[in-house]
Amino acid sequence: MMKNYKIIAVIPAYNEEKSISSVLRDVKKQVDEIILVDDGSGDKTSEMAEKEGACVLKHLINRGQGASLRTGTEYALKRGAEIIIHFDADGQHQIEDIPKLIKPILKDGMDVVLGSRFLSPKSNTPWLRKIVLKMGIFFNYLISGIKLNDAHNGLRALSKKAAKLIDIRQDRMSHNSEIVQKIAQYNLSYQEVPVTIFYSSYSRNKGQSSLNAFKIVWELLWARISR
């Protein structure tokens, strides 16, 4: 936690009772508050999050990660957040990376700091997923003009200014591409920092499989076509 800056983590969650307690215990060491958005879970995710002291917001139905981040980010701004961290609930993100995301905002005045798994020597990204994500990076570059090493990692930090401007409208996985496009649209400053993503059997079963990564490219194209 940084003195004089209110840092809030927004964590979207869907049926994460197996991982959520340990994730929240770790994250709250690095931030001032945690907002967990329960995206229509049918398990004990909300109850367990409340026991860990998180502020829990609930969707009545499963609306998608993008919708959950929108709900959480809007509420974080109402709570007075000056820096907002987007963090996954399945244990694949590492809390040691949170200070690395915050530092460029505090030190250099960056608007957005994006975690890149491809800048880290510790990356264990499955090869098929890596190929598909590289395709997504290329499509993002064509659409936004922004060249990144990793355009679809959900670990990021937003300044208050950026959080107000980046109004996420894509409900599901294409929100990652939408964020990049709005960085370009509003001429926001940005930086990538190396982060470590841990792909466990649990996170893969939760939708992080290599084959599931094709949905990222499809949703990116569909979002572009339907605009």
Tens of pLDDT along 190-218? Answer: 999 999 988 766 555 655 555 555 565 66
pLDDT tops 90 at residue 118: no
Measured CA to CA, the distance from residue 133 to residue 58 in angstroms comes to 30
The answer to whether position 213 is within a domain reads yes
Residue 20 lies in a domain: yes
Would residue 18 count as lying in a domain? yes
Asked whether residue 126 is assigned to any structural domain, the reply reads: yes
Distance CA 97, CA 156 (A): 10
Contacts for 224 with CB less than 8 Å, ≥ 6 apart? 143
Within a domain: 68: yes
Amino acid of residue 223: A
First-to-last alpha carbon distance for the chain, in angstroms, is 39
Identify whether 162 is part of a domain. yes
What distances in angstroms separate CA 110 from CA 41, 57, 105, 139, one per listed residue? 35, 29, 4, 24
Which amino acid appears at position 169 of this protein? R
Number of domains in the chain: 1
Q: What is the pLDDT of residue 110?
A: 98
| Domain carrying residue 46 | 7-225
Q: Please check whether residue 220 lies inside any domain of the structure.
A: yes
Q: Please indicate, yes or no, if residue 2 is contained in any of the structural domains.
A: no
Model pLDDT for residues 51-102, shown as the tens digit of each residue: 999 999 999 999 999 999 999 999 999 999 999 999 999 999 999 999 999 9
| Residue 198 near residue 94, CB atoms below 8 Å | yes
Question: Is 203 strand, coil or helix?
Answer: helix
Contact 179, 69 (CB under 8 A): no
Whichever domain contains 32, its CATH number is: 3.90.550.10
